């Protein structure tokens, strides 16, 4: 089925560990973004990309890295996990500038850092 | 900086109309969106409106845009129990509309 696939769905990390949240889309969308959702805070943009090889920072980029080597994949790396990074992470994609419609979202990764 | 504001809670009786309001700051936004999030799920695009439109209607949903006041609203007619969810207002920003900024979400609670 076409859409945005995120893995894993759930993850528990110890403080200081690193990991990569995977995101893949099969809709040939140029734009991809990572958001985190925390209670009472809504969705905050972490990093985004407008195409392969191009990434930029969002509202809350510290502690996270991204890369976009292909159109399909946009992994999010946590370099050294901290309890403040406990959150639900959503990946989203959309077609290029000028195309109608908003982002298509994945089902999320619930991350707990202990 | 860019900001999107919306009230956090709304309670409505089943069958009544729900009106969820939002204000935004970026006057150059090309698109404004309403998303719906059901418990444990990702966000689902409900509807969007171009910034040069005043109103858009789609079945039970009516979106009103007051560009002068930077105010966006979503009206849900004949509210049903299945409409219980969190509704997010969002705006596209940047020269290429490459970023979408979300409000904190309005939790809609349906009273029997």
Q: Hey, is the C-beta of B97 within 8 angstroms of any chain A C-beta? A: yes
Inter-residue contact B77 to B62 (CB < 8 Å): yes
Contact A101 B99 (CB under 8 A): no
Asked if A32 and A56 touch (Cβ cutoff 8 Å), the reply is no
Q: What is the DSSP letter of A14?
A: -
pLDDT for B21 equals 97
Per-residue pLDDT reduced to its tens digit, B52-89: 889 999 999 999 999 999 999 999 999 999 999 999 99
Which residues of chain B lie closer than 8 angstroms to A102, CB-CB? 31, 33, 35, 45, 48, 90, 92, 100
* Residue (of B91, B57, B61) closest to B75 by Cα position: B61
Q: What pLDDT sits at residue B108?
A: 97
What is the tens place of the pLDDT at every residue in A48-75?
Answer: 999 999 999 999 999 999 999 999 999 9
- Is residue B1's pLDDT more than 70? no
CB B33 within 8 A of CB A102: yes
Record the tokens describing residue B14, joined without a space: 């089943």
Would you give the DSSP letter of residue A103? P
């Amino acid at each position: 089925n076409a859409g945005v696939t995120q893995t894993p769905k759930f993850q528990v990390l110890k403080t200081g560990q690193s990991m990569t949240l995977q995101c893949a889309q099969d809709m040939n969308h140029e734009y991809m973004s990572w958001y985190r959702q925390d209670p009472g805070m809504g969705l905050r943009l972490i990093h985004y990309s407008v195409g392969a090889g191009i990434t930029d920072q969002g509202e809350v980029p510290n502690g996270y890295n991204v890369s976009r080597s292909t159109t399909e994949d946009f992994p999010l790396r946590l370099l050294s996990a901290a309890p403040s990074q406990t959150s639900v992470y959503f990946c989203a994609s959309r077609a290029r500038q000028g195309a109608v419609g908003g982002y298509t979202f994945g089902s999320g990764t619930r991350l707990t850092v202990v | 900086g860019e900001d999107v504001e919306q009230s956090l809670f709304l309670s409505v009786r089943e069958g009544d109309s729900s009106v969820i309001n939002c204000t935004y700051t970026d006057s150059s936004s090309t698109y404004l969106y309403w998303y719906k999030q059901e418990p444990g799920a990702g966000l689902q695009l409900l509807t969007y409106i171009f910034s040069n439109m005043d109103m858009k209607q789609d079945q039970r949903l009516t979106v009103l845009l007051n560009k002068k006041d930077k105010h966006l609203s979503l009206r849900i007619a004949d509210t049903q129990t299945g409409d219980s969810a969190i509704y997010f207002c969002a705006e596209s920003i940047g020269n290429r509309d490459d970023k979408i900024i979300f409000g904190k979400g309005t939790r809609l609670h349906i009273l029997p």
